[in-house]
Every structure is written in structure tokens, then in C-alpha cells.
Amino acid sequence: MIFVLGPNPNDKYPIPGNRNVQFIKNTINKPNIVAGEYSYYDAKDGELFEEQVLYHYEAIGTKLLIGKFCSIAAETTFIMGGGNHRMDGSTYPFNIFANGWEAYVPTLEQLSIKGDTVIGNDVWIGRGATIMPGVSIGDGAIIGARAVVVKDVRPYTIVGGNPAKEIRQRYSSEVVDELLKIRWWDTKMELINSYMGAIISGNLGELLEMKTKM
């Protein structure tokens, strides 16, 4: 096995001279966004990741939760629950204007807030994808470029389109079950480095061996 060191997980910009690839955890300032180590955003023109998280107001109470080792391409947009309008009557947001209309502020129940948006570990989100409020994307999933994800995505599946639909499962159900038990992203970096070849090739035998050492 080849031992590798890897980038510093505390760097904002882990590739020297590149101001687009940013470790999300080290660039976010909003407490309602939480990201795991090594998850990165490949920005367009250097914008910060949290600029792509829209309608995310602390008063709503929901969070965007991102696991470890996720790859998020440029122009990916996360639409959060603060952008919701009432749908039981007029959808017009009278309350955001002054002169008396502000009295008609809807309750969170009337806005149908769907809860946290959760991105698992080792997820790849393609360029320009849109993730809608309250969606949960499972570990190891792949989201195609320009996909609009409106419902939960199972672990280790590939989805694409608008609205996003499942294209195929990456591995058999039996292999997926094993990978979800192994959870290589939760082990020590020394062990991840030692088994890097197995991780990037999906070598289940070696990954099971790594599991015995975790």
C-alpha cells in the first residue's frame, strides 16, 4: 500500500494557487450550515459556498448539514425553506411590504417548512444542480449536472434530470449494505491514507479488512 499525507483539513483553499476549490467547513460563517472535513466546493469566480445557499434564515430553524468528503461542483444551489410562500390561498407575500401589510406574517406551519437539508458523506453533486428544501441525499450518491433534486436520494444511487429521477444504483444492494456499515469516512486519516487505493476503487475486500482495524 502507498502511504499518502493529503491536504491540511484546516486550510480554506487546499490547492496552492487555486482560490476556487475551498474546504466548505473552513469558509462558512453561518451557524445554520454545518459541513464535515474535506468536503469541498469548486467555486465559479471565487464565490464562497454559503453564497449558494439561498433563503436560509436563522429564524426558520432549519439547517444545511453536509457530511465528509463531499464534492460539490460550481453553481450548485441549495434552496432553503425561507423561500416558501403560503399555498392555502394567495401565494403573494404581502407581509414583506410595509404600510400595514406586515401584519400578515404567516406561521411556519403555513409555510410548510420541511426540515433540515441533509447531504451524506462521499456525495458528488454535479455542476449547476439545485437541491430543494428538506431533501436528504444518502451516502455515496451522485447528483447529475443541472439536476433538480426535489425528493430524497437513496445511498449510492445516481440521479439526474428535472425533477431528478434515479438512473441506477452504483452497486448491488448487498455491497451498499456493507459500505454503509464500513463508513470509511469516519475512521482515522492514517487508516484512510493507508487504504486510499481500496477507497477510490471500491475494493470491498480491502475495505472490509480496513473495517477490522477501525
Three-class SS of residue 192?
helix
Distance from C-alpha of 129 to C-alpha of 164, rounded to nearest angstrom: 10
Pairing of strands 165-169, 157-160: antiparallel
Other CB atoms within a 10 A radius of the CB of residue 11 amount to 12
Those residues with Cβ within 8 angstroms of residue 130's Cβ, 6 or more apart along the chain or in another chain: 76, 77, 78, 79, 147, 148, 149
Is residue 85 annotated as part of the catalytic site, yes or no? yes
Cα-Cα end-to-end distance for the chain: 17
DSSP labels, 81-106: GGG----SS----GGGSSTTGGG-PP
Peptide bond into 163 cis (omega under 30): yes
Catalytic residue from among 10, 15, 54, 85? 85
- Taking the C-alpha atoms of residue 122 and residue 68, their distance in angstroms, rounded to an integer, is 6
Strand extents, DSSP E, 1-126: 21-23, 33-35, 40-42, 53-54, 64-66, 71-72, 77-79, 117-119, 124-125
- Catalytic positions are 85
